[in-house]
């Protein structure tokens, strides 16, 4: 491979990591979201930074390279890939990122924790995740997503595993707006459905990692069919690069210990916000329709208990 091609590949890799959404996300979340775009040796550096961010603040580039087992140029390439001019610049941004929240205090609930600490840790972690994503959510992108959903001929919600449950919740909210909508969690069904979409249709793809191959392929097929794809996923992920529009949901998880929880809550909250936005955009007629559906639910409840 010639030098020009190598230079172009490096430039494309850096551009993929440094998307506008990624620039505004906390540094640790950006590192995790961009993990697959890093070289293998750089991933070793990323693992150390994610595991011991406070330790990194107090060591030199030579010490970091020694502890990770890589060369100093590898550490330099890692920080450069993330858009920093040098290790000092990287540590400054890392310090700022750690100072804005408590990203790692509630990362793990270990087997040694007393039960009295489990619930507070889980609650605090979810609150921290929600606050972080709320502060980073791009208002212009959110408004664009609401407009796409409001004008859609058909809505399809795709998610696999935990995200499939969120997709079902989203469909349950949006079908009440009078737009044909469906949720698919089976990857084969997603792929077939995506090929049948039309240009006025919208897919909402949900993924914590943004790296699930079947979901990525379904979204590619949807784009090829001319449909819009709104991704609720990690900024800078493979899914975010396929989507027409991405709402970044950068949440630190520890899937080696427990299944992702905070990302699911964040995705549900973003769906809630989108549904409220679409309801408001629909005007008085849509609000009247929603009120009629609420009345139907009221009629099914036992009376005399505070109603």
Q: Give the CATH number, domain containing residue 82.
A: 1.10.10.10
On whether residue 273 sits in a domain, the answer given is yes
**Local structure of 244: helix, strand or coil:** coil
Q: Which 3 state secondary structure label does DSSP give 109?
A: coil
Quick one: tokens of 101?
A: 């929240």
Q: Considering its fold, how many domains does the chain have in total?
A: 2
Residues 141 and 280 in one domain: yes
pLDDT at 18: 47
Give the residue numbers spanning the domain of 147: 136-296
- Cα angle: 177, vertex 282, 202; to 5 degrees: 60
Location of structure tokens 């240009």: 199
Residue 125 within any structural domain of the chain: no
Per-residue pLDDT of 230-259, as tens digits, reads: 999 998 899 999 999 999 998 766 544 555
In tens, the pLDDT along 34-93 reads 787 889 999 999 999 988 888 899 899 999 999 999 999 999 999 999 889 999 999 998
Using 50, 70 and 90 to split pLDDT, how confident is the model at 20?
very low
Tokens 């619930």, residue located: 119
The Cα–Cα gap between 294 and 291 comes to 5
Same domain, 155 and 91: no
Question: Final residue of a domain: which of 99, 127, 152?
Answer: 99
Helix (H, G, I), strand (E, B) or coil at 39: coil
What pLDDT is recorded for position 169? 96
């Amino acid at each position: 491979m010639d030098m020009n091609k190598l230079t172009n590949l490096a430039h494309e890799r850096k551009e993929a990591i440094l998307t506008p959404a990624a620039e505004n996300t906390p540094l640790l979340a950006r590192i995790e979201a961009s993990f697959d775009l890093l070289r293998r040796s750089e991933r070793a550096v990323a693992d150390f930074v994610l595991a011991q961010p406070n330790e990194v603040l107090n060591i030199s580039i030579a010490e970091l390279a020694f502890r990770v087992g890589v060369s100093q140029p590898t550490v330099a390439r890692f920080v450069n890939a993330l858009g920093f001019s040098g290790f000092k610049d990287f540590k400054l941004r890392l310090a700022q990122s750690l100072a804005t929240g408590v990203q790692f205090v509630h990362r793990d609930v270990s087997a040694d924790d007393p039960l009295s600490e489990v619930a507070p840790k889980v609650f605090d972690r979810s609150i921290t995740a929600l606050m972080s994503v709320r502060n980073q959510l791009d208002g212009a992108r959110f408004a664009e997503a609401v407009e796409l959903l409001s004008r859609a001929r058909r809505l399809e919600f795709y998610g696999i595993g935990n995200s499939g449950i969120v997709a079902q919740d989203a469909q349950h909210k949006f079908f009440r707006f009078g737009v044909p909508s469906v949720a698919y969690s089976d990857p084969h069904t997603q792929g077939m459905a995506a090929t049948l979409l039309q240009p006025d249709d919208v897919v909402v793809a949900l993924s914590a990692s943004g790296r699930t191959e079947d979901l990525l392929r379904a979204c590619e097929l949807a784009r090829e069919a001319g449909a819009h794809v709104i991704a609720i996923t990690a900024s800078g992920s493979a899914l975010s690069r396929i989507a027409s529009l991405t709402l970044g949901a950068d949440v630190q998880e520890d899937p080696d210990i427990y299944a992702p929880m905070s990302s699911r809550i964040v995705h549900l909250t973003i769906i809630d916000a989108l549904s409220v936005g679409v309801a408001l955009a629909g005007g008085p007629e849509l609000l009247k329709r929603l009120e009629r559906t609420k009345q139907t639910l009221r009629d099914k409840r036992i009376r005399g208990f505070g109603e």
